[in-house]
Amino acid sequence: MSTPTELDTIIDGLLRREKMISPKYFYDEHGSQLFDQITHLPEYYPTETELGILQDNMDEIVELVGEHASLIEFGSGSSRKTRALLGSLNDLAAYVPVDISEDHLLESGARVQREFPDLEVLPVVADFTRTFSLPNPKFTPLKNVVYFPGSTIGNFTHDAAQDLLNVMYQEAGENGALLIGVDLRKDIAIIERAYDDSAGITAAFNLNMLRHLNEEFGFDFDLSCYTHNSHYNEAEGRIEMRLISSCDQIVTAGDAEILIGEGEAILTEYSHKYTLDGFQEMASSAGFAVERVWTDADALFSVQYFVRA
């Protein structure tokens, strides 16, 4: 049996009873630019809040990570948070960004290398939801610290997040640790505003996914027929983002024909929000023990440090 192509996987998602597209297709060049705009919006609290937590507690984070560690970032980041961390940690053995998108990974890794010329940067092209082989730095690290900033863990279902924590445990190795950003449950109005801003940037970001699929994979979505929708599902503790069709249409890609009815939704993202106890219970199931937790004054967001139990 032949292995499904990326196009096959996208089509399969659109043929399900509840249509869905993976959130990774938000991030073409234009989508990345839109998301950067989102992180500066007054309604979108996660980015600035997490950066503030890191800056306010950097001395303690540096002490916990220690010297000659290898920092393994799941998702190739060159964001302000990653740069702030790399600029503060003592004598890192290596920085290992991991991403499935080779072009994005190499570009991001090159930017980090230019900013930190004395740091060994070792990009790894891999699907970090599965175990992968780590490179061997010139200087053997005293320990591995898996780094997963942002609220990206919230984009996974609980089962998938548990599987990812299991992978992180394996990649951390003996004496390893995990430094992770986790968005917290809070007033629903604050959460919903963050995903439906008054400037309409999040709506444009959501719709851009369809433009990306049209350009890269040959779909023929009519973007004028879709509107952005976000809703906080209180029972599941998560934001659910969708695109709602305002008309009946048949979308094609290759030989595939996909019927999308008026009012039908395409799920594009989950963003789970956690309690501290709830997330620590998941981490514990993967073999991690919580060492330290930092939050902002309003408890909107958390940065958590775990060690292998």
96-145: pLDDT as tens digits: 999 887 888 888 899 999 999 999 999 999 989 999 999 999 999 999 99
Map residue 161 onto helix, strand or coil.
helix
Provide CATH 3.40.50.150 ranges for the chain. 46-186+273-308
Q: Are 37 and 201 in contact (CB under 8 A)?
A: yes
Residues whose CB falls within 8 Å of the CB of residue 236, separated by 6 or more in sequence, listed in order: 272
Q: How many whole angstroms separate alpha carbon 228 and alpha carbon 211?
A: 14
pLDDT classification of 77: cutoffs 50, 70, 90: low
Q: How many whole angstroms separate alpha carbon 190 and alpha carbon 187?
A: 6
Position 309 scores a pLDDT of 87
Q: What's the CATH code, domain 46-186+273-308?
A: 3.40.50.150
Q: How many whole angstroms separate alpha carbon 57 and alpha carbon 294?
A: 8
Q: How many whole angstroms separate alpha carbon 73 and alpha carbon 82?
A: 9
294-303: pLDDT as tens digits: 999 999 999 9
Position 1 scores a pLDDT of 45
262-272: pLDDT as tens digits: 999 999 999 99
- Of all helices (H) and strands (E), which one includes residue 1? none
Q: In what order do the strands lie in the sheet with 265-272?
A: 19-20, 265-272, 238-245, 226-233
Mean pLDDT of 46-51: 96
Mean pLDDT of 67-72: 96
Position 3 scores a pLDDT of 60
Position 4 scores a pLDDT of 72
209-245: pLDDT as tens digits: 999 999 999 999 999 999 999 999 999 999 999 999 9
Percentage of residues in the chain with pLDDT exceeding 90? 88
pTM for the structure as a whole = 0.92
